Amino acid sequence: MNISILDLLTRKKESKKISMITCYDYTSAKIASKSNIDIVFIGDSLGMTMLGYKNTIPCTTEVMALYTQAVARGAPNKFILGDLPFLTMRKGLEPAMNAVEKLMQAGAHALKFEGFADNSILSHIVNSGVPIMGHIGMTPQFVHQFGGFRVQGKNDSSAEKIYQEALALEKAGCFAVVLECIPPVLAKKITESLSIPTIGIGAGPHTDGQVLIWQDFLGMDPDFSPKFVKTYFNAFDPILNALNFYDQDVKNGSFPEPQHCYK
Catalytic positions? 180
The three-class DSSP label of residue 198 is: strand
Which residue of 96, 99, 178, 179 would you call a contact of ligand KIV, by CB under 6 A? 178
Of 96 and 215, which CB lies nearer to ligand KIV in the complex structure? 215
- 210 binds ligand KIV per the rule CB under 6 A: no
Smallest distance from ligand KIV to CB 44, Å: 5
User: Least distance from C-beta 59 to ligand KIV, angstroms?
Assistant: 9
9: which residues sit within 8 A by CB, 6+ positions away?
175, 195, 196, 197
Which residue stretch of 43-51, 93-101, 159-167, 251-259 sits at the interface with ligand KIV (rule: CB under 6 A)?
43-51
* Binder among 96, 125, 201, 218 for ligand KIV (CB under 6 A): 201
Nearest to 50 by CA among 36, 34, 66: 66
Which residues are CB-contacts of 244 (< 8 A; sequence separation ≥ 6)? none
**Minimal distance, residue 5 CB to ligand KIV, in Å:** 17
Does residue number 198 form part of the binding site for ligand KIV (CB under 6 A)? no
Nearer to ligand KIV, 81 or 262 (CB): 81
Q: Could you say whether residue 43 binds ligand KIV (CB under 6 A)?
A: yes
Nearest to 115 by CA among 97, 141, 92: 141
Of these, 38, 165, 170, 180, which contacts ligand KIV (CB under 6 A)? 180
> Binding segment for ligand KIV among 39-47, 89-97, 162-170, 243-251 (CB under 6 A)?
39-47
Residue 44, interface with ligand KIV (CB under 6 A)?
yes
Contacts to ligand KIV from residues 63-122, by CB under 6 A = 83
C-alpha separations of 205 from 13, 98, 117, 200, 210 in Å: 17, 36, 27, 8, 8
Task: Looking at 92-194, list the stretches that DSSP marks H as alpha helix, in order from N- to C-terminal side.
Answer: 93-105, 119-127, 143-146, 156-171, 184-193
Longest Cα–Cα distance in the chain: 73
Nearest residue to ligand KIV on Cβ basis:
43
Q: Which of residues 117-146 bind ligand KIV (CB under 6 A)?
A: 135
**Nearest to 6, CA basis, from 192, 178, 136, 131:** 131
How far apart, in Å, are the Cα atoms of 158 and each of 6, 163, 196, 209? 31, 9, 22, 23
Given the complex with ligand KIV, which of 28 and 45 has the nearer CB atom? 45
Minimum CB distance to ligand KIV smaller for 38 or for 180: 180
Bridge partner list, 20: 39, 211
Q: Which residues bind ligand KIV (CB under 6 A)?
A: 22, 43-45, 83, 135, 178, 180, 201, 211, 213
